[in-house]
Amino acid sequence: MMLEVNDVVTAYGKIEALKGVSLSVDPGRITCLLGPNGAGKTTLMYTIAGILRPRRGSVRFDGAELVGETADRVVSRGIALVPENRLVFPHMSVAENLAAGAYLRRDRAAIASDIEALLARFPVLKERRAQQAGTLSGGEQQMLAVARALMSRPRLLMMDEPSMGLAPLIVEQIFAIVEELNRDGITIFMVEQNAHMALKVAHKFFLMEQGKVTFAGAPGDVAEDDVIQRAYLGSAKAR
């Protein structure tokens, strides 16, 4: 496995948001984490990314322990996070946001080349390269958040709710981008509320409820209707 999470407990004060979470992400695959709101999905992403430190447990990437590493060290190891709600830098231009994604790199010529390659990959961003990110539409900001994360040249791209708040047509475009990135060799670990779309692209998925992983499988292992009901409502049908 590329990423192995074992018995992770993360808390906010006395409240445990993750209660012994274990899961794995295979290299070269798309893995989706589904579950109702408040299940702990974003907390898990932040824990893997080094933004939160767990009280207990192990997070290993390519066999190396990440617990105790700072967020920038996690990025330098090859993991990038596209956060929930995009969180672009609103008063910086599109090009400046992309450059910010390469803040750990020192290869200036390669950084400039990567910016141009990503602008070519996302033509709508190329048209708006000098525009402030805060003036972009939600879909454009999501594309910018993905492109900014790619500037660190990650081998594992973590995406937290990439379809949140977007129109259906834009959601389809975002998932097409996910599949394209995966075909290019990037491993994807994605938290997603749109279970129907997630199951269309995932090679493996996990269900999380109340801070615990309660099911793991491949699309088709369980009837999609049961998975979707449980992902949204926490129903026990998919057990």
Please state the pTM of the whole predicted model.
Answer: 0.91
Domains of the chain, earliest start first: 3-88+138-233 (3.40.50.300)
pLDDT per residue over 174-228, tens digit each?
A: 999 999 999 999 999 999 988 888 989 999 999 999 999 998 989 887 776 777 7
CA pair distance 124, 139, nearest whole angstrom:
10
pLDDT per residue over 129-185, tens digit each?
A: 999 999 999 999 999 999 999 999 999 999 999 998 888 888 999 999 999 999 999
Token digits for 223? Answer: 């009837």
